Copies of this chain bind each other. A is one copy, B any other.
Amino acid sequence: MRENRIRSLWARDEAVVNGWLAIPNSFSTETMAHAGWDSLTLDMQHGVIDYQSAVAMLTAISTTQTMPVVRVPWLDPGIIMKMLDAGAYAIICPMVNTRADAEKLVTAMRYPPQGSRSFGPIRASLYAGADYAKHANDSVVGFAMIETRQALDNLDEILSVEGLDAVYIGPADLSLALGCTPRFDQDEKPVVEAIDLILAKAREHGVAAGIHNGTPEYALKMIEKGFRFVTVSSDARLMASGAQQVVKTMRGALPKDAVKPGY
């Protein structure tokens, strides 16, 4: 089976540099896949991506060595299994708030006897190789997103679920949950403390921790702190920023109604 480089990097205690995809297109994805990221995450929750575009995007990523990750729209076994069958090597699952949620995630990702994933790795076997079924349980990675007060309250219970590989922090939702402004690269105290708590607990439980960042500078700090999966910006926001910089240089200023995608 094709190696899951996310696990290999973690085995060497290195951080995964992850790109983020919101544009549902294979060419933009292939462009991103050639930029040097360790992994690329298709955002099926807030990105403009559905199943069929996701398959096209996973195919585009498969033309490179970049690892394919999918954030599913919701903790739903149907879509988790479908994305694994399509060749995702990691799943990021939003709104994992309880031990039961975490167990549901782990169970959906593993074949029996460890879980209840249904058998049919239709594209995964093309991407990974004919022995996919044998090794999938040990290879694919599941991230539980910690982004609500409830999840913070249940942190130890969630982190102690057997088979849970990693947690992922969405700072915008976590900020809202704590009464702060929804944004990346937070410095508001309640959010920073929650981030530190999640990281510390995760490391205690031997669970990898990931976080979404707006800038490489903040992401580098997160790696230093101990995060081992850091996302920076997204396809759409990098494009919008680049375009707005050009327009600003051409005109001296941006028009008032210039706006970027809200994620």
Contacts and interface: CB of A to CB of B under 8 A. Distances in A.
Interface of A: 17, 19, 22-28, 30-32, 34-37, 43, 45-48, 50-53, 55-56, 59-60, 62-63, 73-74, 76-79, 81-82, 85-86, 94-95, 111-113, 116, 118-127, 129-130, 132-133, 147-148, 170, 172-173, 175-177, 179, 182, 216-217, 219-220, 230, 232-233, 235-236, 238-251, 254-255, 257-263
Contacts of A43: 120
A176 to B, nearest CB: 5
A30 to B, nearest CB: 6
Contacts of A220: 249-250
A124 B262 contact: yes
A70 to B, nearest CB: 14
Contact of A235 (B32, B127, B239, B251): B239
Given A45-B118, A130-B260, A219-B250, 12 more contacts: A22-B122, A24-B27, A32-B239, A32-B243, A46-B82, A46-B118, A48-B86, A63-B126, A94-B118, A129-B257, A233-B242, A238-B242
A250 B66 CA distance: 16
A36 B122 contact: no
A47 B123 CA distance: 9
Given A56-B26, A262-B121, A31 B239 contact: yes
A133 B37 CA distance: 25
Contacts of A124: 262
